[in-house]
């Protein structure tokens, strides 16, 4: 019974930012649970590497280059997924970015727009496109990725934290809009040791401030992702689940 409710056999999943970090871990976990996966990121060659890993697990994969901050790229990604597989059962809006500016006043308009585009505009567009198709079809699941920056406001992460807070609002609103056929939930990760976590990984004070006194390993996102993607969470929608090691 336990294995069955987490089973994703013959499901079709789309994961943005799926070529590395938390995205790659979710792609591989979904494939191991039986899903075929569309792997999207800006670099096609990186997507192709992960696609081969999925195929080695006996599942089908579609690598696709897309910049989620661009409206048209989200349209192309949705169309490609449906053209290749015929449907989408699981969408994970994982792609994101959190560059820092030298100061508040030195935050350029270009940087501000780029952060909002990737972290909020793109997930809104892709969720709208795929979510509406899910409603017209057999339903599905959307999983958004926020951040503990949305709950812990800090001066140096205002654009990023604001965009991720918007993801929480969007999660609840889309859960209402697409109910009852589509469940929409959100994971808010804390500090994970991915390949982009170079600024703070040696910050002992930040580590000791966490309830678990350590940073997360990328594979530790998998349990929550599988829960939300599968029937294990069949009565869960419109929720933001913090996976942050205790960021209080």
Q: What is the mean pLDDT of residues 125-142?
A: 98
Listed by start position, the domains of the chain span 2-243
pLDDT at 20: 96
pLDDT at 195: 80
Q: Which superfamily is assigned to 2-243 in CATH? A: NAD(P)-binding Rossmann-like Domain (3.40.50.720)
How many CB atoms lie under 10 A from the CB of residue 153? 11
pLDDT at 56: 98
Does 1 have pLDDT greater than 70? no
Q: What is the mean pLDDT of residues 157-176?
A: 97
Q: Name beta bridge partners: 65.
A: 41
Cβ 217 vs Cβ 192: under 8 Å: yes
Here the contacts of 154-160 (C-beta below 8 Å, separation 24 or greater) are 155/104, 156/100, 156/101, 157/98, 157/100, 158/104, 158/107, 159/107, 159/111, 159/112, 159/115, 159/116, 160/97, 160/98, 160/115, 160/119
pLDDT at 134: 98
How far is the C-alpha of 96 from the C-alpha of 246, rounded, in Å?
22
- Positive or negative torsion for Cα 46, 51, 54, 55: negative
Sorted by sequence, the CB contacts under 8 Å of residue 104 that are 6+ apart come out as: 155, 158
pLDDT at 193: 93
How far is the C-alpha of 137 from the C-alpha of 134, rounded, in Å?
5
Whether the bond between 42 and the residue before it is cis, its omega within 30 degrees of 0, is no
* pTM, 2 dp: 0.96
Here the contacts of 124-129 (C-beta below 8 Å, separation 24 or greater) are 124/170, 125/71, 125/74, 125/75, 126/14, 126/16, 126/68, 126/74, 126/77, 126/78, 126/91, 126/93, 127/91, 127/93, 127/170, 127/174, 127/184, 129/74, 129/75, 129/78
Where does the pLDDT of residue 44 fall: very low under 50, low under 70, confident under 90, or very high at 90 and above?
very high
Q: Provide the pairing of β-strand 182-189 with 240-243.
A: parallel
Q: What is the mean pLDDT of residues 216-239?
A: 97
Does 35 have pLDDT greater than 60? yes
Where does the pLDDT of residue 197 fall: very low under 50, low under 70, confident under 90, or very high at 90 and above?
low
Nearest to 13 by CA among 47, 41, 40: 40
Does the active-site annotation cover 82?
no
């Amino acid at each position: 019974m336990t294995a069955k409710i987490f089973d994703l056999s013959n499901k079709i999943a789309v994961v943005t930012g799926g070529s590395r970090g938390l995205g790659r871990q979710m792609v591989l976990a979904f494939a191991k649970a039986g899903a075929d996966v569309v792997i999207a990121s800006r670099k096609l060659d990186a997507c192709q590497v992960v696609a081969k890993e999925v195929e080695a697990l006996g599942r089908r994969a579609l690598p696709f280059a897309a910049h989620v901050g661009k409206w048209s790229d989200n349209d192309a990604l949705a169309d490609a997924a449906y053209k290749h597989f015929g449907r989408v059962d699981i969408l994970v809006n994982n792609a994101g970015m959190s560059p820092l500016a030298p100061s508040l006043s030195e935050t350029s308009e270009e940087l501000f727009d780029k952060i909002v585009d990737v972290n909020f505009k793109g997930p809104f567009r892709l969720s709208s496109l795929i979510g509406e198709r899910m409603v017209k079809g057999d339903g599905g699941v959307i999983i958004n990725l926020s951040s503990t920056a949305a709950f812990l406001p800090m001066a140096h992460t205002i654009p990023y934290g604001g965009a991720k807070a918007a993801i929480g609002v969007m999660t609840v609103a889309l859960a209402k809009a697409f109910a009852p056929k589509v469940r929409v939930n959100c994971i808010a990760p804390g500090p994970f040791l991915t390949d982009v976590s170079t600024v703070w990984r040696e910050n002992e004070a930040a580590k000791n401030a966490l309830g678990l006194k350590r940073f997360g390993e990328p594979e530790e996102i998998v349990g929550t992702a599988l829960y939300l993607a599968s029937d294990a969470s069949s009565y869960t929608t419109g929720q933001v689940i913090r996976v942050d090691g205790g960021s209080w």
